[in-house]
Structures are given as structure tokens and as C-alpha cells.
Copies of this chain bind each other. A is one copy, B any other.
Amino acid sequence: MTDGTLLYLSRNDVESLGLEMAEIIDVVEKGFFELGHGRVEMPPKPGIHPGEKANAFIHAMPAYIPALESAGIKWVSGYPDNPEKGLPYITGLLIFNDVDTGIPRAVMDCTWITAMRTAAASAISARFLARPESETVGVLACGVQGHRNLEAMSVCFPIKRVKAFDVRPEQSRRLAQFAEMTLGLEVKIVSNPKEAVVGCDIIVTSGPILKTPHATIQSGWMAAGAFASLVDFDSYWSREALGQADKWTTDHLGQYTYYKEVMGFFQNCPPVYADLGELVTGKKPGRETAEERTFAANLGLAVDDMAVAPLVYQRAMEKGIGTLLPL
């Protein structure tokens, strides 16, 4: 589109499009298929760190996915002190460009996209690494990613029940309500984290990301044949428990290596068996036996966001949602 207008989509606009998790999973998987075939341009993500706060960041996440005619950038900030001020931890915008002219087509709030694509990537990892008949999900930390991961797993597996653990009981109650009312699942709220791991087919840890893992989950808790998605990186797992991994995967080997060697995450974790592009393209097999313990430690990539952006843009144009602005 080179008609001199720019589509703006607020957070409410994006949420009101009615996009479903299944659609998000589908486009994110396409993004990883392209990535796995080496057909995505995704430079390292640089960032700035304003303010005196230790862990505040704003990251630039550009990507170009030719097959999806998607080019653009997510500019996303994380300010740990924001929730105390009644503001969201994660905020930001995504710019979606016309691939033929470079001209910006749309600016959209990236909060919802970030939440959805993160869970979608978990579910795509699970498709290759969890047992297809997986029925029971354990969720440890029941915030936005706890909700979204449970939803995404329910799209891809015949999930029947969830065991919900959170240090803040009101969070597990909120997840329980969502699981029962929206997803139709049987729910057990547990007060001991061990109960949310033992006997589960799929385990999702989605607490805060910590440089020094609290390492709550102990060796022997995770059942043979289970799959774990580590949305909060390695924060929740003891090294002994991770030592039981048969397959340890991530979404991007290059970025994982950076997070490990430069930023100090994932110390003493198992060696990476495959990244998600290799799994999606079949370059490496996923689960091979019913007994393997499999893991996905996905980092979140620009390809996730830029796979979703064209879908958001097209749906908004079809529905006439958003504000058209002069360029």
C-alpha cells in the first residue's frame, strides 16, 4: 500500500480483531519453517537500557520474512518497576512495512501480539516434542503466559485437565476460572509446586525470568514422556532436574548461545539438541520414544512477531478496525 496512509492499531484495536490462537500458531509455524530453511533475515536484536533501573530495557527486533511478505520491527520495552506504578511491564509498538517500497503500512501495539506469539511458539515446540495424546498440563506461575500457554496447548492437544500453581493464590484462581469457563478443562489448584509437575504430560513454567534460577523443580518430579516449556528460561528448574532431559531445544541456536555466553542465562543446562526451525522443517526429528523427557527453552524472536504482523494488518483492513493516518 503506497496511498500515503498509515494504519494505527491501539492495544484495544488489536485485541478486538478476534484473531484466534489457532491462526497465530499457524502463522508462527510458517515463520519457523522459513527460518529453518534459512529464508528469514533476522539480525541480532540490539537494545537500550534507559533509567537507573537495573533491568529496564527497550529492544529492537527487526525481521524480514519474504514468504509472508513481512518486513518490520518490534520495539518493545520491559520495565520491572512499572507494575508498582500501575503500568504494564511490557509495552511497545510494531512497525509493519511494505516490502516493495519500504514505506510503513501500519503501527500497532505489540502487547497482545507478544503474549500470543510467545505461547504459540511453546505449542509449536510441543507439537514436535510432547506426546500427541498429552492430556494433563501443569502450569507454574499463572500470569498472562500461564493463560496463553494453556490456551495454545489446548489448541494442539486433547488437553483435559490442568494443575495450577502460583505463589499468589489469586493468580491460580484466575487461571482456574479461565481454564474451566473458556477452555472447558478440569482444574486442580495446587499449593505445592511439585503437584503441578508430577504426573503431567506438559509442564509450563512462566514466572519471572531470573539470572539466578530459584530452581524449585527437583529431579524425579517430571514424569518420563513429559514435555516442558520454559517460558521463564531456566528459572524454575534445578540443574539435577534438567539433567534428566533427553532432548533440550530452543527457538534459535544463535540467540540462545548469546543469552548463555554473553548474558549468563542457561548455565549448566544440557547441550542444545535442535532449534525450532530444525524441528519444523524436519531437519531433526522431534520426540522419538514415549519415554523421552523433552524441553523447549524458547527465547522469543523477531520472526515470531513479524509472522503475526501481516495477519493482524490484513484482518484490521478487512474489518475496518484502526485509525488511518496521513504519512
Asked if residues A79 and B102 are in contact (CB atoms below 8 Å), the reply is yes
Give bound CA distance, A58 to B327, whole Å.
17
Cβ of A50 within 8 Å of any chain B Cβ, yes or no, is yes
Give bound CA distance, A104 to B10, whole Å.
12
- Closest CB in chain B relative to A116 CB, distance in Å: 18
Residues of B within 8 A of A99 (CB): 50-51
- Closest CB in chain B relative to A53 CB, distance in Å: 9
Q: Which residue of B lies closest to A56 (CB)?
A: B102
Q: A107-B93, A325-B10, A327-B109 are in contact. Are A102 and B58 (CB under 8 A)?
A: yes
Cβ of A75 within 8 Å of any chain B Cβ, yes or no, is yes
Interface segment, one of A63-71, A121-129, A231-239, A252-260: A63-71
Residues of B within 8 A of A66 (CB): 50
Cβ of A36 within 8 Å of any chain B Cβ, yes or no, is no
Asked if residues B51 and A41 are in contact (CB atoms below 8 Å), the reply is no
Q: Which residue of B lies closest to A45 (CB)?
A: B46
Within 80-139 of A, Cβ neighbours of B (below 8 Å) are at: 82, 85, 87, 91-93, 95, 97, 99-104, 107, 109
Asked if residues B49 and A64 are in contact (CB atoms below 8 Å), the reply is yes
Give bound CA distance, A62 to B92, whole Å.
14
Asked if residues A97 and B50 are in contact (CB atoms below 8 Å), the reply is yes
Asked if residues A2 and B85 are in contact (CB atoms below 8 Å), the reply is yes
Asked if residues B77 and A103 are in contact (CB atoms below 8 Å), the reply is yes
Residues of B within 8 A of A73 (CB): 58, 60, 73, 75
- Closest CB in chain B relative to A266 CB, distance in Å: 22
Cβ of A78 within 8 Å of any chain B Cβ, yes or no, is yes
Asked if residues A46 and B48 are in contact (CB atoms below 8 Å), the reply is no
Give bound CA distance, A12 to B5, whole Å.
13
Give bound CA distance, A218 to B325, whole Å.
48
Residues of B within 8 A of A57 (CB): 102
Give bound CA distance, A107 to B8, whole Å.
10
List the 3 closest A-B pairs by CB distance, nearest first: A77-B102, A43-B46, A48-B64
